[in-house]
């Protein structure tokens, strides 16, 4: 058990150390959400005139972007794993007594850490642009929790595909096939009532939508405990399923 | 003497059709350097992967240090060091960081890790490059680092897939020296190789594998001893390229029919003729060929080598199989095993 915790820690440290060796990557990682934030708020500025939100589009969009970052990061771990597979690193790790779950959870935590850093950037910049988090620090922490679970679910699934396929091309295709619809079939970009009925129906099966429905009110008005409860259950189950699927993929990896 | 490795009818079938390892039963004694020798695709890596608990056997079983690879894989991993065929190194970390990571994965304490890392970097002559990114390492340095990761926990059994593949001769000799030194300290070693010289110089016993089966097993001397007498190697000059194959076949039939010839094996560039006494056979062969109006390119007499043993059991010459280079390789081209 204790070994497992240390294994997770050293796996996480190994991934994070990449940024020490490549500070430039870190820079890109932090600039990326800024670009989205500026582009989207400018592009969709006029939507606020439709009158669906009290504040500015930044206020509406910042929570959406925070959820979206979890979706966009979904294949980041897959690419680290594919690299480890291609260079024969993963096969060597599997031959050591390292805990299997630690290899997986360490990777997922690494993605969560990069995501949290990106969120800080978004929070600071949207604050400067006039957006406020209605529920304060508590809302921010709850947002971290919900979206981390969502991110772990998405990342784990794509990682499982990567470990099974062992090649980058199909993973890119499949990841896009999964993540883009998940994003568009949610109220990240526009509120649900502005979309056709079938999209609103589809949203009921989309963990991304549960996350945004819980997170957005925390930014705009206040805690919506029903939405938060649903989001925690849906995203929590999703994360567990993904870890399970990824573990199964790891088990099958060596053939 | 106890066995460090025992396999019982070990078999691996990929995609229901490819018999990568076909019913291998071997015993490797503690303290032995044991070699698996075979051409590309013989099933060496697959065998090693099953012993290192990376790949699950389709049927049969294996024990390492008395532990079953399927039932007690964690115990097997704790006493086994696995070094991969194509250097498995992390380009994004330094050599020191990479060795340290493996120390942690083997659950050693920090003090032990620090001293082992220094010791191994020294032994593998990587001290100067220790803090550089592995991305800047040469193929030979990567291979040495790779072997280092397998030694962090001083395993009872070191499993090395092609320890010197693609390395220059100095590095190769140095790695042989390391392996011998480790073995002297009591480590059992299982290695695979394409290089007959490697088996000859290094291994206490060798299993020749072909198409997933062990076709011969013994000490290098025993194996060579199975081929009695001498080997005459004969080449014919290529006069008419179209007719060359026919000519060779004609010579093969002619010689096979002679009572003093035990066997004739064509190879890519020569005919190997197995005889009891080379000194007597050579003039006889020359006379025969001359009488049939055939010209001789070169004729040479040799004591049997492992090469000939290999040829005898597989019908192929091992050196025709080229080794793959380690080190620089285009990303994504290799299909990982
Ligand atoms: N993951 C896999 N899926 C399908 N077939 C495989 C897989 N791994 C190996 N094989 C097949 O199994 C056979 C044995 O392969 P293996 O890698 O064990 O040979 P080898 O003796 O190590 O060869 P080499 O000298 O080239 O390293 C080959 O025919 C190979 O194509
Ligand atoms: Mg091999």
Structure tokens at B308: 């000939």
Q: Classify residue A95: in a domain, yes or no.
A: yes
Residue B231 banded pLDDT, cuts 50, 70, 90: confident
Contact B48, B36 (CB under 8 A): yes
Q: Classify residue A43: in a domain, yes or no.
A: no
User: Distance between CA atoms of B153 and B179, rounded to whole angstroms?
Assistant: 16
**Which CATH number is B243's domain given?**
3.30.70.920
Interchain CB contacts (distance < 8 Å): A and B: 88
Query: How many domains are there within chain A?
Result: 1
Does residue B195 share a domain with residue B144?
A: yes
Residue B331 banded pLDDT, cuts 50, 70, 90: very low
Q: Classify residue B168: in a domain, yes or no.
A: yes
Does residue B138 share a domain with residue B73?
A: yes
Q: Classify residue A47: in a domain, yes or no.
A: no
Residue nearest to atom 4 of ligand 1 (CA): B14
Three-state DSSP class for residue B275 = strand
Residue A37 banded pLDDT, cuts 50, 70, 90: confident
Average pLDDT over residues B44-50: 96
Dihedral of the alpha carbons of B240, B246, B250, B255, in degrees to the nearest 10: 90
Residue B327 banded pLDDT, cuts 50, 70, 90: very low
Average pLDDT, chain B: 86
Sequence-separated (6 or more) residues with CB below 8 Å from residue A198: none
pLDDT at res. B282: 87
Q: Classify residue B162: in a domain, yes or no.
A: yes
Query: How many domains are there within chain B?
Result: 2
Average pLDDT over residues B64-87: 94
Residue A50 banded pLDDT, cuts 50, 70, 90: low
- pLDDT tops 90 at residue A94: yes
Record the pTM.
0.82
Q: Classify residue B196: in a domain, yes or no.
A: yes
ipTM for the complex shown: 0.87
- pLDDT tops 50 at residue B211: yes
Give the number of whichever ligand sits closest to the CA of residue B40: 1
User: Distance between CA atoms of A104 and A95, rounded to whole angstroms?
Assistant: 15
Q: Is the CB of B26 under 6 A from ligand 1?
A: no
Q: Classify residue B314: in a domain, yes or no.
A: no
- Partner B contacted by A104 (CB < 8 A): no
Q: Classify residue A202: in a domain, yes or no.
A: yes
Q: Classify residue B309: in a domain, yes or no.
A: no
- Atom of ligand 1 lying closest to residue A255 CA: 1
B214 forms beta bridges with: B209
Does residue B83 share a domain with residue B116?
A: yes
Report the Cα B278 to chain-centroid distance in Å: 30
Q: Classify residue B313: in a domain, yes or no.
A: no
Q: Classify residue A46: in a domain, yes or no.
A: no
Does residue B202 share a domain with residue B55?
A: yes
Q: Classify residue B310: in a domain, yes or no.
A: no
Does residue B270 share a domain with residue B250?
A: yes
Structural domain of residue B119, as residue ranges? 3-222+320-334
- Atom of ligand 1 lying closest to residue B337 CA: 1
**Which CATH number is B143's domain given?**
3.40.50.300
DSSP states of B133-195: BGGG--HHHHHHHHHHHHHTT--SEEEEESTTTT--HHHHHHHHHHHHHHHHTT-EEEEEES-
**CA B280 to ligand 1 center in whole angstroms:** 44
Residue B10 banded pLDDT, cuts 50, 70, 90: very high
Average pLDDT over residues B250-265: 85
pLDDT at res. B332: 35
**CA B210 to ligand 2 center in whole angstroms:** 12
With a pLDDT cut of 90, the percent of chain A lying above it is 45
Report DSSP state, residue B94.
B
Average pLDDT over residues A171-186: 86
pLDDT, tens digit (0-9, with 9 covering 90-100), for B96-135:
999 999 999 999 999 999 999 999 999 888 999 999 999 9
pLDDT at res. A200: 87
| Residues of chain B positioned with their CB less than 8 A from the CB of A168 | 332
A47 to chain B, minimum CA–CA distance in Å? 44
Report the candidate in B89, B82, B114, B170 with the shortest Cα–Cα distance to residue A86: B89
Q: Between A21, A97, A254, which is nearest B55 by CB?
A: A254
- pLDDT tops 60 at residue B321: no
**Ligand 1: which of B10, B21, B40, B46 to mutate, most ligand atoms within 8 Å of CB?**
B46
Does residue B77 share a domain with residue B23?
A: yes
- CA dist A76 to A121, A152, A207, B89, Å? 18, 11, 19, 20
Residue A132 banded pLDDT, cuts 50, 70, 90: confident
Does residue B238 share a domain with residue B101?
A: no
Between residues B336 and A235, the one the model is more confident about: A235
Q: Classify residue A136: in a domain, yes or no.
A: yes
- Partner B contacted by A6 (CB < 8 A): yes
Q: Classify residue A44: in a domain, yes or no.
A: no
With a pLDDT cut of 70, the percent of chain A lying above it is 95
Q: Which of A95, A100, A164, A170 to mutate to test the interface with B (most CBs of B within 10 A)?
A: A95
CB contact under 8 A, B77 and A85: no
CB contact under 8 A, A97 and B78: yes
CB contact under 8 A, B107 and A6: yes
Between residues B247 and B45, the one the model is more confident about: B45
Tell me how many degrees the CA angle B334-B336-B337 measures, rounded to the nearest 5. Answer: 135
CB contact under 8 A, A255 and B74: no
Q: Which helix (H) or strand (E) holds B9?
A: strand B3-14
User: Distance between CA atoms of A55 and B10, rounded to whole angstroms?
Assistant: 69
Does residue B236 share a domain with residue B209?
A: no
Q: Identify which of A189-193, A232-236, B227-231 has the greatest average pLDDT.
A: A232-236
Does residue B327 share a domain with residue B268?
A: no
Does residue B271 share a domain with residue B206?
A: no
Three-state DSSP class for residue B125 = coil
Residue nearest to atom 22 of ligand 1 (CA): B45
User: Distance between CA atoms of B324 and B305, rounded to whole angstroms?
Assistant: 23
Q: Classify residue A45: in a domain, yes or no.
A: no
Residue nearest to atom 24 of ligand 1 (CA): B40
**CA A203 to ligand 2 center in whole angstroms:** 49
Q: Is the CB of B40 under 6 A from ligand 1?
A: yes
B319 to chain A, minimum CA–CA distance in Å? 26
- pLDDT tops 60 at residue B337: no
Does residue B285 share a domain with residue B204?
A: no
- pLDDT tops 60 at residue B72: yes
Q: What are phi and psi of A71, to 5 degrees?
A: -70, -45
Does residue B283 share a domain with residue B207?
A: no
E strand intervals along B30-146? 33-37, 59-64, 67-68, 80-83
**CA B310 to ligand 1 center in whole angstroms:** 19
Q: Between B77, B133, B336, which is nearest A95 by CB?
A: B77
Q: Is the CB of B11 under 6 A from ligand 1?
A: no
Q: What are phi and psi of B210, to 5 degrees?
A: -150, 135
């Amino acid at each position: 058990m204790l070994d497992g915790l240390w294994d997770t820690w050293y796996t996480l440290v190994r991934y994070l150390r990449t940024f020490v060796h490549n500070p430039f990557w870190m820079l890109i990682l932090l600039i990326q959400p800024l670009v989205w934030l500026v582009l989207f708020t400018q592009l969709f500025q006029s939507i606020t005139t439709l009158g669906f939100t009290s504040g500015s589009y930044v206020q509406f969009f910042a929570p959406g972007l925070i959820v979206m970052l979890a979706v966009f990061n979904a294949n980041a771990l897959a690419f680290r794993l594919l690299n480890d597979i291609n260079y024969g690193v993963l096969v060597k790790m599997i031959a050591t007594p390292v805990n299997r779950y630690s290899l997986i959870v360490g990777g997922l935590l690494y993605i969560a850490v990069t995501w949290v850093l990106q969120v800080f950037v978004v929070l600071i910049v949207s604050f400067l642009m006039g957006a406020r988090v209605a529920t304060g620090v508590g809302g921010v922490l709850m947002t971290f929790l919900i979206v981390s679970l969502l991110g772990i679910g998405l990342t784990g699934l794509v990682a499982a595909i990567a470990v099974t396929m062992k090649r980058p091309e199909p993973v890119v295709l499949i990841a896009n096939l999964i993540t883009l619809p998940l994003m568009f079939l949610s109220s990240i970009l526009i509120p649900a009532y502005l979309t056709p009925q079938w999209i609103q129906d589809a949203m009921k099966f989309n963990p991304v939508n549960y996350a945004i429905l819980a997170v957005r009110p925390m930014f705009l008005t206040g805690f919506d405990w029903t939405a938060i409860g649903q989001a925690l259950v849906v995203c929590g189950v999703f994360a567990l399923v993904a870890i399970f699927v990824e573990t199964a993929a790891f088990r099958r990896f060596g053939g | 003497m106890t066995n460090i490795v025992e396999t019982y009818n070990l078999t691996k079938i990929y995609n229901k059709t490819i018999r990568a390892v076909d019913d291998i039963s071997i015993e490797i004694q503690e303290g032995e350097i044991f070699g698996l020798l075979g051409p590309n695709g013989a099933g060496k890596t697959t065998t090693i992967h099953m012993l290192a608990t990376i790949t699950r056997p389709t049927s049969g079983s294996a024990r390492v240090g008395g532990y079953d690879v399927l039932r007690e894989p964690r115990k097997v991993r704790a006493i086994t060091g696995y070094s991969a065929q194509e250097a498995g190194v992390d380009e994004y970390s330094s050599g020191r960081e990479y060795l340290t990571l493996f120390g942690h994965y083997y659950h050693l304490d920090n003090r032990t890790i620090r001293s082992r890392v220094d010791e191994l970097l020294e032994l593998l002559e990587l001290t100067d490059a220790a803090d550089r990114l592995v991305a800047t390492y040469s193929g030979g340095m990567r291979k040495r680092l790779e072997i280092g990761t397998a030694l962090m926990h001083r395993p009872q059994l070191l499993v090395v897939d092609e320890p010197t593949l693609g390395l220059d001769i100095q590095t190769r000799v140095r790695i042989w020296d390391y392996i011998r030194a480790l073995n002297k300290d009591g480590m059992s070693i299982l290695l695979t190789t394409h290089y007959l010289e490697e088996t000859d110089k290094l291994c206490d016993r060798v299993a020749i594998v072909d198409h997933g089966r062990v076709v011969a097993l013994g000490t290098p001397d025993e194996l060579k001893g199975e081929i009695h007498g001498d080997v005459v190697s004969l080449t014919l000059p290529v006069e008419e390229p179209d007719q060359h194959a026919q000519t060779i076949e004609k010579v093969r039939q002619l010689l096979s029919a002679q009572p003093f010839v035990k066997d004739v094996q064509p190879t890519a560039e020569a005919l190997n003729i197995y005889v009891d006494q080379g000194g007597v056979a050579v003039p006889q062969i020359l006379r025969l060929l001359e009488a049939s109006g055939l010209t001789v390119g070169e004729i040479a007499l040799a004591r049997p080598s492992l090469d000939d043993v290999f040829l005898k059991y597989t019908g192929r010459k091992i050196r025709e199989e080229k080794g793959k280079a380690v080190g620089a390789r285009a990303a994504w081209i290799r299909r990982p095993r």
